[in-house]
Structure 1
């Protein structure tokens, strides 16, 4: 039989864990590969937990496992194999055993539903009742991506916003922090062959007009401006960067329309693909200069630049004072 069931575990923008399910005969059937994708763990761990669940008598294999014929590519041949698929009872049991941040979110969600059932005697998902059993995850995802594309936020923030829509996104995970720096560096490298830190170190020069900056927040350049890589981009570089980001956003929306689930690791691979299609060089290393070193160099240049600026402001003030005194002396003579 053809398996059309599906289960998606994700977090909303306000941090609430939700589960979206497409049922087949009032349950869900997933194989071992789909289980390790769902809970973001390795297949060995899934196999171990399934074995323990059956051996402990927690669930019956006959009641929770079904063999479904699947066509697989094995070398140059397409072969039909009977693959073990597991129903919702087994999926829930595995979710309570797996150690991953995604599984933790699942347990939080399941515990909340169980508590509602114990306290109220029933547990209803109002949104699911309104949706009449249809999966709403991808509809909501498409809408959120369109909102991001049409927003006035700067391109870096738009890319970050897209990444936050990853189905396994966790703001506290180190992977999320590394991603933001990696994406920024890959985009910069594609345009001018320097990481963000390298460009700051290269272009922050105290003797240059405006210290090499092309944009800054207020009327005057402040120390907080000199450590932001995009502030050194010229108009052509900004235009190229905007084009790449728009392609990235369009790809994200298309993935949602095709109902394809995206994980945090997927976005780096997809960005590399977009850069390759555009004949841009793809950054595969962390660069020669750390962000901390670049920031230190830029701030040193800023201190020199600011000293020159203060001196120039003082000279200008003295000139204005001399002019006023001269005008007063002329007026007094008259």
Structure 2
């Protein structure tokens, strides 16, 4: 059964895992510092270094290998065990086994070799570090722990394109009166998105401000997909509003903002808020107003000229013809 993948920087129990490098063109991309994210042409080979740490006072044997992953129901999911897919068949991790002393850490390397015949599209996998504790005299059941980093690999001969659109936000109150906000998002690009961000509520009743609230992370939208992200943890006593809601969402270096006037409904209800007029649209309206003003002034001037011309014609002296 697929399961939600852990973060690359995590250390669960007694294993730590940390990615050590990112592509030069992605050094400013926080997502590429956490996961292996790249866009390659067929026939390309890449390498990434990572660190594995033994965070215990005992010796540990750690298995390193790639495992299959996919995006389903707007979640990044990984398969059990060493289940393969197309991307794992292109991937090698060296060394395959680490024997770490207590509190020791060391580096390893993952190599991805994309075949020249690879078809366009994005693939997903996880690079795993796995360590197990076998049953012993005091433990009848052994345990297996694994941590790792996600791999998002896009194959194409053309350029990379990632983008999204925030379509609307919805204010909710559950039956107990607890408020939350849900944003509907459309992935308009060709790369998967891991959405995160924050919601700021201001200009409430009496000028109140409810501060900033983080978006619940975990939503991964596939290329072309639609889904929602939620802002929870709002105070039950939060007034209904209206509020000015400013939502900021990002995935890597792609960022968008959405502003709207928001009113929270009664318990058990929902209230949709659409975007307020954007600054560009306000500029368009201002330009239209200036155009109308100029047009009106021009028409007045032309009417004035015609009036002067008629008066001048009526008053001039007539000269007899010869």
Fold equivalence (TM over 0.5):
no
TM-score by length of structure 1 reads 0.27
- From the CA coordinates, give the structure whose radius of gyration is larger: 2
Higher helix share: 1
